[in-house]
Protein backbone atom coordinates (compact mmCIF):
# COMPACT_ATOMS: atom_id res chain seq x y z
CA UNK A 1 0.00 0.00 0.00
CA UNK A 2 1.27 3.42 -0.98
CA UNK A 3 1.99 6.30 1.39
CA UNK A 4 -0.26 9.35 1.46
CA UNK A 5 -1.59 9.58 5.03
CA UNK A 6 -4.98 8.17 3.92
CA UNK A 7 -5.58 11.44 2.04
CA UNK A 8 -3.22 11.46 -0.93
CA UNK A 9 -1.93 8.63 -3.06
CA UNK A 10 -2.12 6.94 -6.40
CA UNK A 11 -2.50 3.45 -7.76
CA UNK A 12 1.01 3.45 -9.27
CA UNK A 13 3.44 2.20 -6.60
CA UNK A 14 7.12 3.06 -6.37
CA UNK A 15 8.85 1.58 -9.45
CA UNK A 16 12.05 0.76 -7.55
CA UNK A 17 10.09 -1.50 -5.22
CA UNK A 18 8.18 -3.22 -8.02
CA UNK A 19 11.25 -3.82 -10.18
CA UNK A 20 13.23 -5.39 -7.35
CA UNK A 21 10.51 -7.41 -5.65
CA UNK A 22 10.56 -10.38 -8.09
CA UNK A 23 6.93 -11.15 -7.36
CA UNK A 24 3.45 -10.11 -8.44
CA UNK A 25 2.67 -6.72 -6.88
CA UNK A 26 -0.97 -5.82 -6.27
CA UNK A 27 -1.61 -2.14 -5.52
CA UNK A 28 -4.92 -1.32 -3.83
CA UNK A 29 -6.75 1.82 -4.98
CA UNK A 30 -8.39 2.39 -1.61
CA UNK A 31 -10.71 5.31 -0.92
CA UNK A 32 -9.15 8.47 0.47
CA UNK A 33 -10.10 10.94 3.20
CA UNK A 34 -11.67 13.35 3.91
CA UNK A 35 -14.39 12.31 1.48
CA UNK A 36 -14.03 8.75 2.77
CA UNK A 37 -12.76 8.78 6.36
CA UNK A 38 -12.01 5.75 8.55
CA UNK A 39 -12.85 2.91 8.18
CA UNK A 40 -13.23 3.18 4.38
CA UNK A 41 -9.56 2.48 3.58
CA UNK A 42 -9.50 -0.51 5.94
CA UNK A 43 -12.65 -1.93 4.38
CA UNK A 44 -11.16 -1.57 0.90
CA UNK A 45 -7.88 -3.33 1.66
CA UNK A 46 -9.71 -6.15 3.46
CA UNK A 47 -12.08 -6.57 0.50
CA UNK A 48 -9.09 -6.60 -1.85
CA UNK A 49 -7.32 -9.30 0.15
CA UNK A 50 -10.45 -11.43 0.28
CA UNK A 51 -10.82 -11.13 -3.50
CA UNK A 52 -7.15 -11.92 -4.07
CA UNK A 53 -7.27 -14.99 -1.85
CA UNK A 54 -10.47 -16.26 -3.48
CA UNK A 55 -9.73 -15.43 -7.13
CA UNK A 56 -6.07 -14.49 -7.42
CA UNK A 57 -4.99 -17.91 -8.59
CA UNK A 58 -7.45 -17.96 -11.49
CA UNK A 59 -7.47 -14.25 -12.35
CA UNK A 60 -3.82 -13.29 -11.79
CA UNK A 61 -2.00 -16.62 -11.78
CA UNK A 62 -0.58 -16.00 -8.31
CA UNK A 63 0.14 -18.47 -5.53
CA UNK A 64 -2.44 -17.49 -2.92
CA UNK A 65 -0.59 -19.54 -0.32
CA UNK A 66 2.31 -17.07 -0.50
CA UNK A 67 0.64 -13.68 -0.04
CA UNK A 68 2.58 -10.95 1.74
CA UNK A 69 1.41 -7.45 2.64
CA UNK A 70 3.44 -4.28 2.76
CA UNK A 71 3.23 -0.54 2.77
CA UNK A 72 4.85 2.76 3.63
CA UNK A 73 3.66 5.27 6.25
CA UNK A 74 -0.15 5.23 6.05
CA UNK A 75 0.24 2.26 3.71
CA UNK A 76 2.30 0.60 6.44
CA UNK A 77 -0.55 1.30 8.82
CA UNK A 78 -2.97 -0.44 6.48
CA UNK A 79 -0.57 -3.34 5.88
CA UNK A 80 -0.21 -3.97 9.62
CA UNK A 81 -3.97 -3.76 10.09
CA UNK A 82 -4.56 -6.04 7.11
CA UNK A 83 -2.31 -8.70 8.64
CA UNK A 84 -4.36 -8.49 11.83
CA UNK A 85 -7.64 -8.61 9.91
CA UNK A 86 -6.44 -11.65 7.96
CA UNK A 87 -5.68 -13.43 11.22
CA UNK A 88 -9.08 -12.46 12.62
CA UNK A 89 -10.96 -13.62 9.52
CA UNK A 90 -13.03 -16.80 9.84
CA UNK A 91 -11.36 -18.88 8.59
CA UNK A 92 -8.04 -17.01 8.77
CA UNK A 93 -6.47 -15.88 5.50
CA UNK A 94 -2.89 -17.19 5.62
CA UNK A 95 -0.19 -14.60 4.99
CA UNK A 96 3.53 -15.31 4.86
CA UNK A 97 5.10 -11.90 5.52
CA UNK A 98 4.52 -8.22 6.25
CA UNK A 99 6.84 -5.37 5.25
CA UNK A 100 6.17 -2.26 7.31
CA UNK A 101 8.11 0.81 6.16
CA UNK A 102 7.82 3.69 8.66
CA UNK A 103 4.29 2.58 9.60
CA UNK A 104 1.77 4.77 11.40
CA UNK A 105 0.87 2.62 14.39
CA UNK A 106 -0.44 5.06 17.02
CA UNK A 107 -3.05 7.65 16.09
CA UNK A 108 -3.44 8.76 19.70
CA UNK A 109 0.07 10.08 20.42
CA UNK A 110 0.47 13.85 20.74
CA UNK A 111 2.90 16.27 19.07
CA UNK A 112 4.78 16.87 22.33
CA UNK A 113 6.48 13.49 22.07
CA UNK A 114 4.23 11.49 24.39
CA UNK A 115 4.66 8.58 24.32
CA UNK A 116 6.87 8.62 21.18
CA UNK A 117 9.79 11.01 21.56
CA UNK A 118 10.59 11.09 17.82
CA UNK A 119 7.54 13.32 17.34
CA UNK A 120 9.35 15.99 19.34
CA UNK A 121 12.92 15.15 18.35
CA UNK A 122 12.17 15.30 14.61
CA UNK A 123 9.56 18.05 14.72
CA UNK A 124 11.51 20.19 12.21
CA UNK A 125 12.09 17.43 9.67
CA UNK A 126 11.27 18.34 6.08
CA UNK A 127 7.76 17.51 4.90
CA UNK A 128 6.22 15.45 7.71
CA UNK A 129 6.00 17.77 10.70
CA UNK A 130 3.78 17.01 13.71
CA UNK A 131 1.38 19.73 12.56
CA UNK A 132 1.01 18.18 9.14
CA UNK A 133 0.59 14.70 10.61
CA UNK A 134 -2.18 15.95 12.90
CA UNK A 135 -3.88 17.53 9.86
CA UNK A 136 -3.78 14.18 8.07
CA UNK A 137 -5.08 12.46 11.19
CA UNK A 138 -7.98 14.90 11.53
CA UNK A 139 -9.00 14.21 7.94
CA UNK A 140 -8.86 10.44 8.23
CA UNK A 141 -10.04 10.07 11.84
CA UNK A 142 -12.39 12.98 12.58
CA UNK A 143 -14.03 11.08 15.45
CA UNK A 144 -11.71 11.02 18.46
CA UNK A 145 -13.14 7.77 19.80
CA UNK A 146 -11.99 5.92 16.66
CA UNK A 147 -8.31 6.76 17.07
CA UNK A 148 -7.51 4.16 19.74
CA UNK A 149 -9.23 1.32 17.88
CA UNK A 150 -6.69 -1.26 16.74
CA UNK A 151 -7.84 -1.07 13.12
CA UNK A 152 -6.80 2.58 13.21
CA UNK A 153 -3.84 2.20 15.59
CA UNK A 154 -2.42 -1.34 15.32
CA UNK A 155 -0.16 -0.69 18.32
CA UNK A 156 -3.28 -1.29 20.43
CA UNK A 157 -4.18 -4.65 18.89
CA UNK A 158 -4.80 -7.41 21.45
CA UNK A 159 -1.82 -9.66 22.09
CA UNK A 160 -3.74 -12.83 21.31
CA UNK A 161 -4.41 -11.49 17.79
CA UNK A 162 -0.87 -10.20 17.27
CA UNK A 163 0.46 -13.69 17.99
CA UNK A 164 -1.35 -14.92 14.86
CA UNK A 165 0.12 -12.50 12.31
CA UNK A 166 3.02 -13.47 10.01
CA UNK A 167 6.65 -12.56 10.49
CA UNK A 168 7.56 -8.98 9.67
CA UNK A 169 10.33 -6.60 8.70
CA UNK A 170 9.95 -3.10 10.14
CA UNK A 171 12.01 -0.44 8.35
CA UNK A 172 12.37 2.93 10.07
CA UNK A 173 14.11 6.19 9.22
CA UNK A 174 16.14 8.03 11.83
CA UNK A 175 14.85 11.54 11.10
CA UNK A 176 11.14 10.73 10.95
CA UNK A 177 8.49 11.55 13.54
CA UNK A 178 7.01 8.06 13.01
CA UNK A 179 10.24 6.28 13.98
CA UNK A 180 9.45 5.47 17.61
CA UNK A 181 5.87 4.30 17.12
CA UNK A 182 7.11 1.97 14.38
CA UNK A 183 9.78 0.68 16.75
CA UNK A 184 7.13 0.20 19.44
CA UNK A 185 5.04 -1.93 17.09
CA UNK A 186 8.10 -3.98 16.16
CA UNK A 187 8.72 -4.55 19.86
CA UNK A 188 5.08 -5.58 20.32
CA UNK A 189 5.47 -8.17 17.57
CA UNK A 190 8.67 -9.46 19.19
CA UNK A 191 7.06 -9.59 22.62
CA UNK A 192 4.29 -11.73 21.22
CA UNK A 193 6.68 -14.32 19.87
CA UNK A 194 8.07 -13.11 16.55
CA UNK A 195 11.65 -12.39 15.57
CA UNK A 196 11.15 -9.02 13.92
CA UNK A 197 14.16 -7.22 12.46
CA UNK A 198 13.88 -3.44 12.83
CA UNK A 199 16.13 -1.68 10.33
CA UNK A 200 16.74 2.00 11.12
CA UNK A 201 18.04 3.91 8.10
CA UNK A 202 20.55 6.38 9.56
CA UNK A 203 19.99 10.04 8.60
CA UNK A 204 17.04 9.17 6.37
CA UNK A 205 13.76 11.04 6.35
CA UNK A 206 10.35 9.71 5.38
CA UNK A 207 10.58 10.95 1.78
CA UNK A 208 13.72 8.92 1.03
CA UNK A 209 13.05 6.16 -1.54
CA UNK A 210 12.42 2.65 -0.35
CA UNK A 211 15.14 0.47 -1.80
CA UNK A 212 14.35 -2.88 -3.32
CA UNK A 213 16.86 -4.40 -0.90
CA UNK A 214 14.20 -4.10 1.82
CA UNK A 215 12.39 -6.96 0.13
Compute the distance between CA of residue 206 and CA of residue 92 in angstroms, rounded to an integer.
Answer: 33
Residue 37 to residues 6, 33, 61, 170, Cα–Cα distance (Å):
8, 5, 33, 26
Better-predicted residue by pLDDT, 10 or 176: 176
What would the CATH number be for the domain defined by 15-214?
3.40.50.1820
CA-wise closest residue to 172 among 190, 147, 199, 146: 199
CA 116 to chain centre: 17
Where helices occur in the chain by DSSP H, the ranges are 15-21, 40-60, 74-88, 118-121, 130-140, 159-162, 179-191
46-78 residue pLDDT tens = 999 999 999 999 999 999 999 999 999 999 999
Q: What is the pLDDT of residue 200?
A: 67
187 and 109 Cβ atoms separated by less than 8 Å: no
157-181 residue pLDDT tens = 999 999 999 999 999 988 899 999 9
161 and 190 Cβ atoms separated by less than 8 Å: no
| pTM for the predicted model, two decimal places | 0.89
Q: What is the pLDDT of residue 193?
A: 78
Compute the distance between CA of residue 141 and CA of residue 134 in angstroms, rounded to an integer.
Answer: 10
Compute the distance between CA of residue 75 and CA of residue 201 in angstroms, rounded to an integer.
Answer: 18
Mean pLDDT check: name the lowest of 40-44, 121-125, 148-152: 121-125
CB neighbours of 208 closer than 8 A, spacing ≥ 6? 173, 201
- What residue spans define the domains of the chain? 15-214
Please, which residues bridge with residue 199 across strands? 171
Please, which pLDDT band fits residue 212 given cuts at 50, 70 and 90?
very low
Better-predicted residue by pLDDT, 12 or 83: 83
Amino acid sequence: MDAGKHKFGELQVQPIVVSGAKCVVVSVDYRLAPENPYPAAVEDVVDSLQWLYAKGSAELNVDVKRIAVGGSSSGGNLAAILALKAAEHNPPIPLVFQLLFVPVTDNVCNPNGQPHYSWHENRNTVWLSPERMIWFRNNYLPNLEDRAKWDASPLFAPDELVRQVPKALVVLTELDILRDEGAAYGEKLRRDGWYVPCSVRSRWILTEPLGASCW
